[in-house]
Homo-oligomer: A and B are copies of this chain.
Amino acid sequence: MARRNLDYIFQPKSVAIAGVSSKETSLPRAGQRYLEAVLGYGFKGKVYPLNPKGGEIKGLRIYSNIKDIPGPIDYVISCVPAHAVLQLINDCAAKGVKVVQCYTAGFSETGLEEGKQLETEICSLSHRGGIRIIGPNCLGVYCPRANFSYHDNLPKESGSTAFICQSGGNTTYSICEGGNRGIRFSKAISYGNAADIDECDLLEHLTADPDTEIILAYIEGVKDGRRFNRVLKEAAQKRPVIILKGGTSESGARAAASHTGALAGSDKVWDGLLRQAGAVRVYSFEELIDMAVTFSHSFLPRGRRVGILGISGGATVLATDDCAGAGLVIPRFPKGLRKKLGDLLESETGAILNNPVDLAATIRKLRVYDILNVLSSYEKIDLIMVHFPLGISMLSACMRSEFWDSVLEDVIRAHRKSTKPIMVVIYDLISKGDYEWMLEAQRKCYEAGIPVYHSIGNAAKALDRFLRYYEHKAREGQG
């Protein structure tokens, strides 16, 4: 059980970075980048640059050997060339280092015998020395609670979503884009080739982690299918686990092998395994973030009956197709409710008062707040979806932003009073101003506790997966 606790890899007390040159450059090499990241993000522990040549950087002495550093070192970041990693690990073992994160690439992912062998040697050497390896071929750890990050420009706030990822770039992308949409992370890790610490170790840790409520994973392959199956089941029983599997096609599997040396496995096997374990499968990073957004807004609609409210008839028609396509139900509104809505709109023509509701022609006297109140108290829908097709309006840029602002304000006010969950979809962006408006609107929404999506299809899919997850849970509970 002790082995399961990997706190020491997420919350080191002291860090050394191997392969930092004393020559600072404007397009810095990896060693310098890590140093800037660790310092810039505000790490509170000791930080030591390492380079056989010695020297000084940013006022810090560069040690020529880790053994010369006074005091203990928990965590070493390796930016030395592949052929120098074995020696580094030897030195780290002598020093009593707990974990080496290998940014260094050039191992099993090369497909070459010598790369594979070097990776095996590193593993056995570190095993003998009592060291855990992250990677190789990875960016490493982001843990805001420990003020520790592989990149200084990532959000400082902690949250309850954890993310394990075999792609470095997409770790960065998901933290940033998730951040834009209100997701904060307990920890994230880019773990590359998974030569030692792998998805199973990480899932076990996160299952027991008190800081984590939702687990996201991008996995290209696993080495021990049986263990993965068991560990995933345990994890998914305890909290939502969302999995994006890379390398599902034959060519994709080849790419995965070149990327992280992963054995991708058959897509069908994966599908069955994930379904049985009760994990949620998604097919893109956007969908991965959609699910984090959905699960982190712990609202639980009682069913799939959705009331749709928007502005633009065509968008409304397609919204309905998308919701129906994802298995949601869009109940027809009874006459009494239509009349209530009609009275609010003062029977403006061009509006659609059935479900979906479209306020197209009523731009002059939108009463979104009142309309949402009426929908919220209608007992035959379970939730409300409000969509904002930004680029459809004939208004000028400034009036457009004012117009959408007032709609959004109404939605947030109505949400505060509503007994039903509200989802917001912002899409059809056509200008820089639209993108800016969206970022700001997203912030307002997540601060108010409203989840935001970027397409109606994706919002509907996320809701469907969310409901299926709880249906699965309910069946399990009965079984």
Question: Which residues of A pack against B, CB within 8 Å?
Answer: 27, 29, 33, 37, 82, 104-106, 109-111, 137, 139, 150-151, 153, 165-170, 172-173, 176-177, 180, 218, 220, 246-252, 254-256, 258-260, 284-285, 311-321, 323-325, 329-330, 332, 349-350, 352-356, 358, 360-361, 363-364, 389, 391-394, 396, 399, 428-432, 435-436, 439, 457
Does the CB pair A432–B430 fall under 8 Å?
no
Select from chain B the residue with minimum beta-carbon distance to A178. B430
Taking CB atoms, residues of chain B closer than 8 Å to A315 are 167, 169-170
Distance in angstroms between the alpha carbons of A169 and B151 in the assembled complex: 42
What distance in Å separates the Cβ of A334 from its nearest Cβ neighbour in chain B? 14
CA distance A173 to B313 in the complex (A): 13
A358:B312 contact, CB within 8 angstroms: no
A167 close to B350 (CB less than 8 A): no
Interchain CB contact (< 8 A) of A324 among B252, B284, B325, B330: B252
Inter-chain CA distance A319–B177, complex, in Å, is 19
Contacts of A399 in B (CB 8 A): 27
Q: Which of A137, A170, A356 gathers most chain B CB within 10 Å?
A: A170
- Residues of B near A165 (CB, < 8 A) are 314
Residues of B within 8 A of A324 (CB): 249-252
A172 is contacted by which of B248, B352, B391, B457 (Cβ under 8 Å)? B391
Whether A432 contacts B428 by the Cβ 8 Å rule is no
Residues of B within 8 A of A109 (CB): 350, 352
Partner of A151 from the list B168, B177, B354, B394 (CB cut-off 8 Å) is: B394
From B180, B258, B317, contact of A167 by CB (8 A)? B317
Q: Which residues of B contact A457 (CB under 8 A)?
A: 284
Residue of B nearest to A311 (CB): B169
Most B C-beta atoms less than 10 A away, residue of A255, A352, A356:
A255
- Of A321, A354, A436, which is in contact with the most chain B CB atoms at under 10 Å from its CB? A321
Residues of B within 8 A of A389 (CB): 169-170, 173
Taken together, the copies of this chain in the complex come to 2
Nearest B residue (CB) for A392: B169
A105 to B313, CA, bound (A): 12
22 pairs, A vs B, C-beta closer than 8 Å: A105-B361, A110-B349, A139-B394, A151-B394, A167-B314, A168-B313, A169-B311, A169-B312, A169-B313, A170-B315, A170-B392, A173-B392, A218-B314, A220-B317, A246-B314, A251-B320, A251-B355, A255-B319, A255-B320, A259-B358, A284-B318, A284-B457
Bound: A284/B172 CA distance, A = 29
* Minimum CB distance partner of A316 in chain B: B255
Q: Is the beta-carbon distance between B317 and A246 smaller than 8 angstroms?
A: yes
CB distance from A477 to the nearest CB of B (A): 32
Structural contact, A153 and B252, CB atoms closer than 8 A:
no
The complex places the Cα of A132 from the Cα of B259 at a distance, in Å, of 62
In angstroms, Cα B394 to Cα A456, docked, is: 31
Q: Which interface residue of A33, A137, A316 has the most chain B CB atoms within 10 A?
A: A316
Residues of B within 8 A of A391 (CB): 172-173, 176-177
Pairwise interchain contact A312-B167, C-beta atoms closer than 8 A: yes
Contacts of A248 in B (CB 8 A): 321
Give chain B residues whose Cβ lies under 8 Å from the Cβ of A311.
169
CB–CB A349/B316 < 8 A: no
A261 CB to closest chain B CB (Å) equals 11
CA distance A329 to B151 in the complex (A): 36
Residues of B within 8 A of A332 (CB): 251, 254
Residues of the B chain whose Cβ atoms lie less than 8 Å from the Cβ of A105: 349-350, 361
Contact A246 B318, CB 8 Å, known A251-B323, A396-B153: yes
Q: B251 touching A392 by the CB < 8 A rule?
A: no
The 5 lowest CB-CB distance pairs between A and B, nearest first, are: A167-B314, A169-B392, A106-B349, A249-B324, A169-B312
The interface residues of chain B lying within 8 Å CB-to-CB of A104 are: 349
Of B259, B319, B321, B352, the residue contacting A314 (CB under 8 A) is B259
Residue of B nearest to A354 (CB): B258
CB distance from A33 to the nearest CB of B (A): 6
